[in-house]
A and B are shown apart, each in its own frame.
Chain A
Amino acid sequence: KQEVTQIPAALSVPEGENLVLNCSFTDSAIYNLQWFRQDPGKGLTSLLLIQSSQREQTSGRLNASLDKSSGRSTLYIAASQPGDSATYLCAVRRSDYKLSFGAGTTVTVRA
């Protein structure tokens, strides 16, 4: 069974600092990995999707890396802003349609 872990569970940084969020998974036989953002009381919004054959994906201030062999992914958010405050979840997909989610890292960016 795929286990997905996100550490730390919560993170607080001053505005302007770079954010580094970690995700680890136990089974390296993944199809892809996604990072989502969830605002309080809201649904999830997909941020980045990395295919198993890729090493990284970038979108604006966001960069996600994937090291399948070690079972790790990292989401970098450059020059954080208060609007980046949210919970960030990673999810890995096996060869079927199912996603296995981590519990998330709740980020607070202090102005």
Chain B
Amino acid sequence: NAGVTQTPKFRVLKTGQSMTLLCAQDMNHEYMYWYRQDPGMGLRLIHYSVGEGTTAKGEVPDGYNVSRLKKQNFLLGLESAAPSQTSVYFCASSYGAANGKETQYFGPGTRLLVL
């Protein structure tokens, strides 16, 4: 049982390049989330999904797209990377949002540097 895994662990991009971050969970969770963490700002929600085939915008969605084609995977895409997207990206998942099911389990993070 690996929990939540993220690929890659670290990446350097040039401005304007694109990339996809992969999140996978093996806990059969319905809900999945993408956050970014910047120094002194805490985590901010980018996009989330409440089930396979569904996605929704979070607090800071601009410049990102997501897809949830399979229940266990949640992809985060950057179509044209900008230096402002330099951050640490965390994926999380949970069973749901009801009592007893809402604890979120986090992946180890992806460090992204955009030059």
Cβ contact of A103, chosen from B42, B58, B92, B109, cutoff 8 A = B42
List A contacts of B99 (CB < 8 A): 51
- Chain B neighbourhood of A101, CB < 8 A: 42-44
State in angstroms the CA–CA spacing of A108 and B45 once bound together.
28
Prevailing SS type, chain A contact patch: strand
Interface size on B, residues (CB 8 A): 25
Residues 33-47 (chain A) with a chain B CB within 8 angstroms: 34, 36, 41-46
Whole-angstrom distance from the CB of A102 to the nearest CB of chain B? 5
Contacts A97-B31, A97-B48, A97-B50 given; indicate if A89 touches B107 (C-beta within 8 A).
Answer: no
Q: Is A93 an interface residue (CB 8 A)?
A: yes
Determine if B42 and A89 form an interchain contact, defined as CB atoms under 8 angstroms apart. Answer: yes
Residues in B with CB closer than 8 Å to A32 are: 102
Q: Is the CB of B31 within 8 A of A49?
A: no
- Within A1-54, which residues are at the interface with B (CB < 8 Å)? 4, 9, 32, 34, 36, 41-46, 49, 51
- Number of A residues near B (Cβ < 8 Å) is 23
Chain A residues whose CB sits within 8 angstroms of the CB of B4 once the complex forms: 43
Instruction: Name the residue of chain A whose CB is nearest to the CB of B4.
Output: A43
Binding site for B on A (CB under 8 A): 4, 9, 32, 34, 36, 41-46, 49, 51, 89, 91, 93, 97-99, 101-104
Can you list 15 A-B pairs with a CB-CB distance of less than 8 A?
Answer: A42-B109, A43-B4, A43-B90, A43-B106, A43-B109, A44-B43, A44-B104, A46-B104, A49-B103, A98-B45, A98-B58, A99-B43, A101-B43, A103-B41, A104-B42
